[in-house]
Amino acid sequence: MQSLDDPECSFLTDFSKLENINLENNNINSLIVSAQTVSLTQGRSYQLFLQGNPLASLTIDQITDTQQLRKYFDYFVWPITLRNLIFRGCRFSNLLSSLLPWPTPFTEMRSVKFYGCVVEGDLSAISHFPKLETLYASGNDVTGNLDFLRNMKALKFIYVDQNPLSGNLSVFMGHSAAVIIDAERTQMTGTLKGVSHLKNLRGLYVGHNRLSGTLEPIQNLSSLMRLTVDNNNITGSIDPIADIKHLVYARLNNNRLTGTIDKICKADQSNLLWLNLKENKLHGRKNCSVSLNESSATLLL
């Protein structure tokens, strides 16, 4: 067995003369698996020993052959500290069937991020990470349904925006740990009742979707600071916004909201800096920046 001590793991680009690789008990905290690395291991049998390292992050770079990647995982003698998984520039025809079952250390995953990937199918395999806290898939070409999120109650930061995904906002019901939910510009349906009990929620971004119903379900979200529900089909009164005391930024334009803005102008909205109400059916005072208690506040009607 050949033993190598290289915290940068730069040697992992060429396995042509290696049999087994022993990297035990070093200080390696991240590992990059590239398409070149996987291709060089095809048809070979060896093991990569990584025990005793603080290996927190694994980056999978430019991979398109996910079946071969799954076989590659079998070569690893895994540590038990893996926390972060990053996919960069990958193309997956079906993430679920190609990569399951995950190696045992993956079940301890806390963060999964996709950058510049194309995922045809869905992200259902992510539901096998019961302790996952962060899912970042913003601006990738991810298709499928968001129902797999329904039972992932440990999630705190959820970014699935700008993807051709479908699903109902109710998938987030019961996600009491959620701090940020960003599902803008997907194909989300349903009503705001799906997030009505998320007391830790600070940012809710669901603009440019197919939501309906009223604003009433979110009036008790006491921690909410940023809200975008623009370009949906929200109806009813604007008044519930006045009850969200810590709101800093809100886009509610291009809906079917009705009534007056008087309650908002009279409320103590000392934190509110931006409120867009354009393209609704509202009336009332059009200049209440003083009532918002911020000389720099912007109210768009």
Count how many domains the chain has: 1
> Is residue 60 situated within a structural domain?
no
Looking at residue 143, what is its pLDDT? 84
Quick one: pLDDT band at residue 180, thresholds 50, 70, 90?
very high
Mean pLDDT over each residue of the chain, to the nearest integer: 80
- Chain position carrying tokens 């992992």: 12
Quick one: pLDDT band at residue 210, thresholds 50, 70, 90?
very high
> Is residue 185 situated within a structural domain?
yes
> Is residue 15 situated within a structural domain?
no
Question: What is the span of the domain harbouring residue 136?
Answer: 70-300
d(CA 186, CA 194): 16
Residue 26, classed as helix, strand or coil, is coil
Asked whether 273 and 296 are in contact (CB, 8 A), the reply is yes
> Is residue 159 situated within a structural domain?
yes
Looking at residue 3, what is its pLDDT? 33
Is the pLDDT reported for residue 7 higher than 60? no
Alpha-carbon distances, residue 300 vs 156, 181, 189, 210 (angstroms): 31, 24, 26, 23
Q: What CATH number does residue 154 fall under?
A: 3.80.10.10
Token readout for 298 is 């912007």
**Burial class of residue 19, CB neighbours in 10 A (0-12, 13-18, 19+):** exposed
> Is residue 92 situated within a structural domain?
yes
- Kindly state the DSSP code that residue 24 receives in the 8-state scheme: T
The residues with which 167 forms a beta bridge, in sequence order, are 188
Q: Output Rg (C-alpha) for the chain, integer angstroms.
A: 24
Backbone angles phi, psi at 211, to 5 degrees: -80, 150
Looking at residue 161, what is its pLDDT? 96
Is the pLDDT reported for residue 258 higher than 70? yes
pTM to 2 decimals? 0.85
> Is residue 155 situated within a structural domain?
yes
- Chain position carrying tokens 């510009």: 185
